[in-house]
Amino acid sequence: MKNGTVGATPNGFLNWKKPMSRHKPTKEESMKRLKNQMPKSGSLPIPNESSKSTGEKDSMTIIMVCFSCLFLLLSALAIPGAFAQEVETAADVKAQFEKDKTGTNPVNFTFDARLYNEYRWLNTAGDGGQNITTFEFRAPFASGKWQFRGKIRAVDLKADFNDDGTDDVDEFGFGDIDLRIMNIPYFNPKKKFAVALGVEFFLNTASEDALGSGATTVAPLIFLGYFNPFGPGSIIVPGYQHKISIDEDDGRSQVHQGLIDIFMVKTWGDNQFWGFIDPQILLDYENNTQFMLLELQAGMMTDKYFGTKGHSAYIMPSFGVGSDRPYDFSLEVGYKIVW
């Protein structure tokens, strides 16, 4: 859930089918697989050449079990009200939300424009890199009860899947477009607890096959917001999003995936600085694979330097874990305006 959520969810599920043997595919085979197994918006289908070793499988299982325990523990720890330091009224909360222009609170529906660039060092046999430039816009509607979010992206993808020194894909163009609407059906300021429900649509808009999923996908999501678990300005947001495609291009796979994540954010210095950690598990039910991503973000308001209002900047490294990970490491920098 990239930044505020399932909302903060990384667009980047893969649905590449792993080869059954250690046989190194030819370029033709790689391209065929590429055509058959295009990834989600903005993500690369990575053919992972090496078979998963038992050790890797075991360590992945251990990591997943640990993650699930952490998920349950944090959910239990953050029992509504357990860490409440003072009773707050809805008006107090509203005032706090209005003061916060960091754009990190997923249930604070503001107008919000973001431009960010991510570079991924891909988990390919040869060299692979993917640069994604995204423009994102969020707006409240229906008297602020609902939030719209849209993302449009340009993708530059170069990858050598079989390590023969030649790029098997080298494309630049528009990626898929994501649209999401979200609502907060339950919000209790005294218990410092909220529930968010939403649905996201991944549209099959990529200008080149390799730059999109080749499918139209619907993804309902739920997340819970526990406020002030680590003192004022902190939030824990466990969430789940289920993606299932309703239409695919010829030769492209069904998308059927789940994303579990725990977004944990803290702001400091009167909402001038923030940091978040967002561990995520991506479960590909279609291909029976899974991997983890760990996103870490540090951000700050830039208003006092630029004389602006509601402007901020951030940097976000991200790590891929597991043999089916799409990338080893990625680095994103972004600029955001909240009003």
SS (H, E, C) 168-229: CEEEEEECCEEEEEEEEEEEECCCCEEEEEEEEEEECCCCCHHHCCCEEEEEEEEEEEEECE
In the complex with Ca ion, the residue whose CB is nearer, 53 or 166, is: 166
Contact 173, 208 (CB under 8 A): yes
Give me the least distance between CB of 115 and Ca ion, in Å please.
33
In the complex with Ca ion, the residue whose CB is nearer, 88 or 160, is: 160
Rounded distance between C-alpha atoms, residue 296 and residue 315, angstroms: 8
Residue with the CB atom nearest Ca ion in the bound state: 160
Binding status of residue 162 toward Ca ion by CB under 5 A: yes
Binding status of residue 124 toward Ca ion by CB under 5 A: no
- Binding residues for Ca ion, how many (CB under 5 A)? 5
Return the bridge partners of 154, or none. Answer: 133, 174
Give me the least distance between CB of 34 and Ca ion, in Å please.
11
Q: Which residue has the tokens 């305006």?
A: 337
Structure tokens at 177: 């477009």
Distances 267 to 126, 217, 264, 322, 334 between C-alpha atoms, Å: 40, 34, 11, 31, 17
Binding status of residue 37 toward Ca ion by CB under 5 A: no
Q: Per CB under 5 A, which region of 139-147, 167-175, 248-256, 278-286 contacts Ca ion? A: 167-175
- When binding is defined by CB under 5 A, the residue of 29, 56, 156, 164 that contacts Ca ion is 164
H-helix or E-strand spanning residue 92? helix 90-99
AA identity, residue 221? L
Give me the least distance between CB of 33 and Ca ion, in Å please.
12
Give me the least distance between CB of 338 and Ca ion, in Å please.
43
Q: Per CB under 5 A, which region of 7-15, 166-174, 207-215, 251-259 contacts Ca ion? A: 166-174
In the complex with Ca ion, the residue whose CB is nearer, 61 or 166, is: 166
In the complex with Ca ion, the residue whose CB is nearer, 160 or 332, is: 160
- When binding is defined by CB under 5 A, the residue of 49, 112, 168, 324 that contacts Ca ion is 168
Q: Per CB under 5 A, which region of 115-123, 164-172, 202-210, 251-259 contacts Ca ion? A: 164-172
For Ca ion, the binding residues in 243-282 under the rule CB under 5 A are: none
Give me the least distance between CB of 167 and Ca ion, in Å please.
6
In the complex with Ca ion, the residue whose CB is nearer, 15 or 162, is: 162
In the complex with Ca ion, the residue whose CB is nearer, 1 or 159, is: 159
DSSP string, 35-68: HHT--STT-------SPPPHHHHHHHHHHHHHHH
Give me the least distance between CB of 209 and Ca ion, in Å please.
17
Give me the least distance between CB of 28 and Ca ion, in Å please.
11
Return the bridge partners of 171, or none. Answer: 157
Rounded distance between C-alpha atoms, residue 214 and residue 58, angstroms: 32
How far apart, in Å, do the first and last CA atoms of the chain sit?
22
- When binding is defined by CB under 5 A, the residue of 68, 166, 288, 308 that contacts Ca ion is 166
Q: Indicate if the alpha-carbon torsion angle 194, 229, 222, 276 is positive or negative.
A: positive
Residues at the site binding Ca ion, with contacts judged by CB under 5 A: 160, 162, 164, 166, 168
